[in-house]
Amino acid sequence: METFIGKPIKRREDARFLKGAGRYTDDIKLPKMTHSAFVRSPYAHANVRSIDTTEANKADGVVAIYTGSDSCGTFGVPCGWQVDFKNGETMREPLHPLLAKDKIKHVGEAVAIVIAETLEQARDAAELVQVDYESLPAVTDPRKAMEPGAPLVHEEWPDNASFDWCIGNDRAEVEAALDSAHYVTEMEFRNQRLAPNAIEPRSYIADYDVNSGKWTLYTSTQNPHLIRLLLCAFVLGIPEHKVRVVSYDVGGGFGSKIYHYTEEALLTWASKEIGRPIKWTSDRTEAFLTDAHGRDHVVKSKMGFDKEGKIVAHLTDEFCAMGAYLSTFAPAVPTYLHGTLFQGVYTTPLIHLNVTAPFTHTVAVDAYRGAGRPEATYLLERMISKAAKEMDIDPADLRFKNFIPPFDGVNEPGYQTQVALQYDSGNYHGVLKRGLEMLGYEDFRKEQAVARASGKLLGVGISTYIEGCGIAPSAVVGSLGARAGLYEVGAVRVQPTGKVSVFTGSHSHGQGHETVFAQFVADKLGIPMDDVEIEHGDTDQVAFGMGTYGSRSLSVGGSAIIKSVEKILEKGAKIAAHKLEAAEEDLEYAEGKWTVKGTDKSVSFGDVSLTAYVPHDYPEGLEPGLDFSSFYDPTNFTYPFGTHIAVVEVDSDTGKVTLKRFVACDDVGNVMNPMIVDGQIQGGVVQGVGQALLEEVIYDESGQMLSGSYMDYAMPRADDIPMIETDRTVTPCPHNPLGVKGAGEAGAIGATPAVVNAVVDALAHLGVTDIQMPLTPQRVWKAMQN
């Protein structure tokens, strides 16, 4: 019997993607559909004196134009996570209107929507909308936003803070330990702002049906149910049972499509006003200006060591930009997804992180691939490597000295950190040891010495990361400020012929769920993969769901499906026992049939399925049918970890960095499909390298974005990246049925500090200790000159 778990099975969904037959929102054309364009502010901070739509209204094909004065958006788009001030003051949460009315708070903020028969007409008419702005001074840097006298983003509060927060040990205790430490290393830097750049821009179609009074919203989202909930309960106050949210194929999200955006709600509202469907698809410039960004932390940090090189204390202060409005999960990112990872993979006994989260005249910052954990990992892994250099200890040795010893979470307990979490299982020695082997670390050091003697600048950089995925359980995240649960729903419907439909609240936008979920369902049921179909992305089909982000799909969504599979097998056993005239406990299930132990008497899954729906000869009192839905709320996060090692060469004339090798040894727990895991790791690594070397959203002092196109925002390309060498160790997660941890973000978390460490290593003999990301040739060259 063919099994599927652990095999590199090619992705089923790729056939339609490669043939251009995907069902993306922008591909959908509805009868009588209208098109829309937004009028957006060219200023970061301005008063809107007047909006004149007279000329635009007269333009060809215009159906309707709405501005902030219309009755849309009374409630605004809410934030989904509340983090209150340390002193107990409630988080400052500004109204985020669907259209700005009197005041502009970032470049690209929409002031009007123009709806027309064609897209061209909508764009043409949008140019005729006259807006009179009074431009005002802006602030875009999170640290400057907190300086006295900084322009206020929201005038109702005395300063720009949205909240502040801290985690870990008592600050005074940490400071005292640093004061008496043998050695203290320090860093100040900015973890720069990034644009997520999903290849498919955001796209929505809202369709209000006058006859049924129902809405359908087609949207490129990572979590359709959450969008429906926010839309109905918070923004528009419309009945949830009359709203269907559909999100078939989505071309990447990286976090940016988790959130509920103003355009989604506005289209839904306007569709009822005009009684026709409305489409809007972002263009690339709009994506740069309006998709939630990632990172943007200004960091100041100290780490103390004893004589042996053991970390004794770690203290960090950060300013983390929120942007002009609070995006759906924004407050969680620099706090519960960030500070809670400050233990890293080390036994640091004293840790304190203090965060101030200011508003800035920029688009919102929210979770972007890794969300808070890349920022934590970058800081820790740069600090360790910097300290190693300064203390003249090999960076690998310094890591080995400080690692938390291996623990499997079953025989040895989970590891309790200083920053609230308890790690599930880990073997950090294992991944570093393997990573060094894969690289040939000792040989490389010799090669490096030879190269250096001949003037060639070679460097190696290590990072050993840990991250937290599948954040849960709901009650705990609720107590930390989440305004939603973080469980998942998985339903398994066995058809009378024994074919299986699986409905998941997880959402695939590149992850390959249709393949991986079918692999383990087929295995657990002992049936062919072709007999299993995975359905997602339609609120009318799937009971509920929390969607896909934070590498949660397999560990949370997969576990919910497993629960339903178990219920199917349990009920199936009752039917089988009846058919076989045996006791349930005498049956065993394998290879798609129930067999009476020790005999050749058996009944197949297909027979049992048919019997469940044609219950003529059937157990008394048992309901017909074979269809179960389950909610799975995990007991803990999962904690993947790994070691990434980069080798770089720096051009001594120009400062240009070439990535020569990249080695990744990750531990993502049990692996369902190694090819897909490799793909996830490699994709993540490329994004991590992008942050290290290329990418940066730049706002100037006045709040203009200087990097709003691919002419100015550098994305990694194939020829920037060497073959990524991957391997794995396997430390199963002890608390979910598949023993899986998550692989979606690991690459982006581990790669960035490895690359920066490598560049700094290449230049260490020139006295270079740090370079601000991205390490553009200019920055590297300038660092070499000083």
Partner 1 sequence: MIPAKFDYIKAATVGEAINLLEEHGFDAKIVSGGHSLIPAMKLRLATPEMLIDIRGIEGMNTITEEGNEIVIGANCTHHELTVNALVNNHVNVLSQAAKCIGDIQVRNRGTLGGSLAHADPASDYPATVLACEATIVAQGKNGSRTITAIDFFQGLFTTALEEGEIITAVRFPKVANGTYQKFFQSASRFAVVGVAAVKDGDRVKVGVTGVAGVPYRATAVENAYDGSSACAAHAVEGVDDVMSDHFADEEYRSHLAKVYVKRALEAL
Q: Which helix (H) or strand (E) holds 646?
A: strand 641-650
DSSP E strand stretches across 341-467:
351-358, 415-416, 422-423, 457-466
CB of 541 to partner 1, least distance (A): 34
Hey, which residues does 50 pair with through a beta bridge?
A: 132
Give dist(CA 520, CA 532) in Å, integer.
10
Residue 27 interacting with partner 1 (CB under 8 A)? no
CA angle 121, 122, 126 (to 5 degrees): 115
DSSP element (H, E) containing 225: helix 224-229
Residue 120 binding partner 1, by CB under 8 A: yes
State which of positions 581-640 bind partner 1 (CB under 8 A): none
To partner 1, the closest distance from the beta carbon of 130 in angstroms equals 16
Q: Does 130 bind partner 1 (CB under 8 A)?
A: no
Q: Are strands 657-667 and 724-728 parallel, antiparallel or unpaired?
A: parallel
Give the whole-angstrom CA distance, residue 487 versus residue 505: 10
**Dihedral of CA 381/382/386/387: which sign?**
negative
Q: In angstroms, what is the minimal distance from the CB of 651 to partner 1?
A: 9
Nearer to partner 1, 147 or 701 (CB): 701
Please report where in the chains the tokens 């009920």 appear, as a residue: 571
Cα(640)–Cα(612) distance, integer angstroms: 41
Nearer to partner 1, 119 or 136 (CB): 119
Choose between 308 and 653: whose C-beta lies nearer to partner 1: 653
**Shortest spacing between CB 709 and partner 1, in angstroms:** 8
- Comparing CB distances to partner 1, the nearer of 102 and 712 is 712
Round to whole Å and give the CA distance between 514 and 509: 11
Read out DSSP for 419-482? SS-EE--B-HHHHHHHHHHHHTHHHHHHHHHHHHHTT-EEEEEEEEEE--BS---HHHHHHTTB
Q: How far is the CB of 693 from partner 1 (least distance, A)?
A: 8
**2 neighbors 523 (Cβ within 8 angstroms):** no
Tokens of 408: 């499997």
Q: 3-state DSSP helix/strand/coil percent for the chain, to nearest 5?
A: 30, 25, 45
Q: What are phi and psi of 609, to 5 degrees?
A: -60, -45
Question: 568-591: string of b/e by CB count within 10 Å (b at 16+)?
Answer: bbebbbbbbbbbbebeeeebebee
30 binds partner 1 (CB under 8 A): no
Complex with partner 1: residue 126 or 542, whichever CB lies closer: 126
Q: What gap in Å lies between CA 92 and CA 89, rounded to an integer?
A: 8
Report the SS3 class of residue 452.
Answer: helix
Sheet holding 130-135, edge to edge: 103-104, 46-52, 130-135
* CB-side neighbour CA atoms (13 Å) of 90: 3
Do 140 and 697 contact (CB within 8 A), yes or no?
no
For residue 433, which phi and psi values (nearest 5 degrees)?
Answer: -60, -50
Q: Which of 130, 497, 599, 778 forms a contact with partner 1 (CB under 8 A)? A: 778
| 3-state DSSP assignment of residue 176 | helix
Q: Which of 47, 132, 712, 766 binds partner 1 (CB under 8 A)?
A: 712
Part of the chain binding partner 1 (CB under 8 A), chosen from 70-78, 369-377, 672-680, 711-719: 711-719
CB 463 within 8 A of CB 643: yes
**Under rule CB under 8 A, residue 32 binds partner 1:** no
Asked whether 228 and 265 are in contact (CB, 8 A), the reply is no
Least distance from partner 1 to the Cβ atom of residue 713, Å: 6
By the rule CB under 8 A, 766 interacts with partner 1: no
Distance CA 735, CA 637 (A): 9
CB atoms near residue 212 (< 10 Å): 9
For the bound state, the minimum distance from the C-beta of residue 388 to partner 1, rounded and expressed in Å, comes to: 30
Pick the binder of partner 1 from 707, 721, 722, 770 (CB under 8 A): 707
Q: How many residues bind partner 1 (CB under 8 A)?
A: 27
Shortest CB 785 distance to partner 1, Å: 9
Nearer to partner 1, 59 or 83 (CB): 59
Phi, psi of 309 (to 5 degrees): 95, 10
Q: Does 341 bind partner 1 (CB under 8 A)?
A: no
Query: Of the two residues 244 and 284, which places its CB atom closer to partner 1 in the complex?
Result: 284
Two tokens at 240? 């949830």
The smaller minimum CB distance to partner 1, of residues 70 and 696, is found at 696
Which CB atom, from 123 or from 601, has the smaller least distance to partner 1?
123
Member of 410, 450, 706, 766 binding partner 1 (CB under 8 A): 706
Q: Measured between alpha carbons, how far is 759 from 646 in angstroms, rounded to an integer?
A: 9
- Please tell me whether residue 176 binds partner 1 under the rule CB under 8 A: no
Q: Looking at beta carbons only, is 86 or 717 nearer to partner 1? A: 717
Among residues 17, 234, 631, 781, the one that binds partner 1 under rule CB under 8 A: 781
Rg (CA), the chain: 27
Among 274, 714, 721, 764, binds partner 1 (CB under 8 A): 714
One character per residue 258-297, x = contact with partner 1 (rule: CB under 8 A): -------------------------xxx------------
Q: Check residue 776 for interaction with partner 1 (CB under 8 A).
A: yes
Query: According to CB under 8 A, which one of 698, 704, 721, 722 is a site residue for partner 1?
Result: 698
> With CB under 8 A as the contact rule, which of the stretches 72-80, 300-308, 519-527, 692-700 interacts with partner 1?
692-700
Q: Examine residue 119 and tell whether it contacts partner 1 (CB under 8 A).
A: yes
> Which residues are CB-contacts of 479 (< 8 A; sequence separation ≥ 6)?
none
Segment interacting with partner 1 (CB under 8 A) among 19-27, 517-525, 613-621, 773-781 = 773-781
CB of 286: closest distance to partner 1 in angstroms?
A: 9
Q: How many helices (H) and strands (E) does the chain have?
A: 19, 28
Among 2, 14, 55, 127, binds partner 1 (CB under 8 A): 127
Question: Quick one: which of 7, 23, 101, 123 contacts partner 1 (CB under 8 A)?
Answer: 123
710 near partner 1, judged by CB under 8 A: yes
Question: Residue 726 in 3-state DSSP?
Answer: strand
Residue 424 contacts partner 1 per CB under 8 A: no
Name which position in 694, 760, 763, 771 contacts partner 1 (CB under 8 A): 694
Structure token pair of residue 610: 């048919």
Compute the distance between CA of residue 581 and CA of residue 666 in angstroms, rounded to an integer. 49
Identify which range of 123-131, 176-184, 269-277, 294-302 contacts partner 1 by CB under 8 A: 123-131
**Contact criterion met (CB below 8 Å) for 748 and 692:** no
- Name the one residue in this structure whose structure tokens are 């706002």: 699
Closer to partner 1 by Cβ: residue 147 or 283? 283
Smallest separation, CB 653 to partner 1 (Å): 5
Q: Please report how close the Cβ of residue 41 comes to partner 1 at its closest, in angstroms.
A: 17
Nearest approach, Cβ of residue 54 and partner 1 (Å): 20
* Residue 701 binding partner 1, by CB under 8 A: no
Query: Tokens at residue 764, please?
Result: 């260490």
Q: Which is nearer to partner 1, 121 or 611 (CB)?
A: 121
Q: Judged by CB, which is closer to partner 1: 130, or 654?
A: 654
Strand 243-246 to 214-219 pairing:
parallel
**Any residues with CB less than 8 A from the CB of 89 and at least 6 apart, and which?**
none
- Using CB under 8 A as the binding rule, whether residue 715 contacts partner 1 is answered as yes
Which residue lies nearer to partner 1 by CB, 613 or 781? 781
Which listed range, 122-130, 153-161, 291-299, 498-506, lies at the site for partner 1 (CB under 8 A)?
122-130
Of residues 648-677, those binding partner 1 (CB under 8 A): 653-654, 656
**Least CB distance from residue 654 to partner 1, whole Å?**
6
Residue numbers at the binding site for partner 1 (CB under 8 A): 119-120, 123-124, 127, 283-285, 653-654, 656, 694, 696, 698, 706-707, 710-715, 776-778, 781-782
